[in-house]
Amino acid sequence: MKAIIYVFSGSGNTLKAANLYKEQFEKNQIETTLVRINIDAKPVEDHTQYDYVGIGYPVHGFNASYNVLDFVKLIAKNPEKKDYFVFHTGGEPLHLNDVSDYKLNEIMKRRNFVLTNEYHYAMPYNMIFRHTDARAVQMHEVLEKLAPIEAQEVIDRKPHKYKYHFGGHTMAFLLRIEHPAMKVNGKLFFKIDQEKCIHCGLCVKNCPEHNITMNEDGSFSFGNKCIMCTACSFNCPKDAFNIGMLNGWRVNGKYNIKNPDLTQEDTHPKYCKKAYEVYFQEAEEKIKANTKEE
């Protein structure tokens, strides 16, 4: 048996989820191909050879980012109906995230694909504000335990879909204004502090859309393909990026998962408090239930 998983990931959260899915598929003797979505990537021409097809992405404004939507538009129409699954990551477990695959699913339907499973994983923000190391560790631990269980649901053909969210589709539609807005923001308002910059080139290398160019004189140029994944600013070793209109929400630097500082004060203790409580409780219950079954 064979599987293919298309994944877009900016700061690495969704890629981690994709690798956990891949590991679970391969434990079941399913040969699995992982394809990173970027400006150079193209979908395979024929999906009939795959028993499982999956798509993973981070949620941007309760939507898939426009590069993910552009990518799936390149998928050829399947000759017969074929199941596919979706998983996405985001900094908060709000139910509004459940509708983020609405537009993507519209496109996939026209290509004769049927959505059977969808999952959301709360992972540390790379935008809005910085989670504490303790919360980041908690999110990673839940993902590591939960993703294999839900990948197994896909393998076992056990459907899992979210309930309709009243007003969610309208909200997602309105927030798709972010797609053209981020192109403008990245082109006109991105700046780099040359006093901080060490010209390591990581921002150029990490940009999935090849939107950043380092010139011979050490200055930088930006194109009009920014998707605001923040792979550039989040991974900048000197915190030299200014991401324009959203700079007040910028988070810089990887979270310390291996050696967390557990003394950090949570500066946003009430933010989506109930949603986090429900997410972690439901995840714990599902993990325990499946651990007992094993």
128 and 12 in one domain?
A: yes
Query: Does any domain span residue 61?
Result: yes
**Max alpha carbon distance in the chain (Å)?**
61
**Total domains in the fold of the chain:** 2
Question: Would you say residue 8 lies in a domain?
Answer: yes
> Domain range spanning residue 52?
2-173+276-293
Q: Are residues 85 and 224 in the same domain?
A: no
Query: Is 80 inside a domain boundary?
Result: yes
pLDDT at residue 294, rounded to an integer: 52
Q: Is residue 262 part of a domain?
A: no
Angle, alpha carbons 146-140-166 (nearest 5°): 65
Q: What is the pLDDT of residue 166?
A: 78
Q: What is the pLDDT of residue 138?
A: 97
- Same domain for 111 and 16, yes or no, is yes
Domain co-membership, 45 together with 89: yes
> CB burial class (10 A; 0-12, 13-18, 19+) of residue 258?
exposed
On whether residue 109 sits in a domain, the answer given is: yes
Instruction: Give residue 293's pLDDT.
Output: 54
Q: 18: domain CATH number?
A: 3.40.50.360
pLDDT of amino acid 202 = 95
Contact 122, 97 (CB under 8 A): no
Examine the domain organization and report whether 31 and 167 are in the same domain: yes
pLDDT for the residue numbered 292: 66
Q: Does residue 209 sit in the same domain as residue 192?
A: yes
pTM recorded for the entire structure:
0.95
Mean pLDDT by 10 residues, the chain (294 residues): 97 96 98 97 96 97 95 96 97 91 96 98 95 96 98 98 84 91 95 95 94 94 95 95 94 93 92 96 96 64
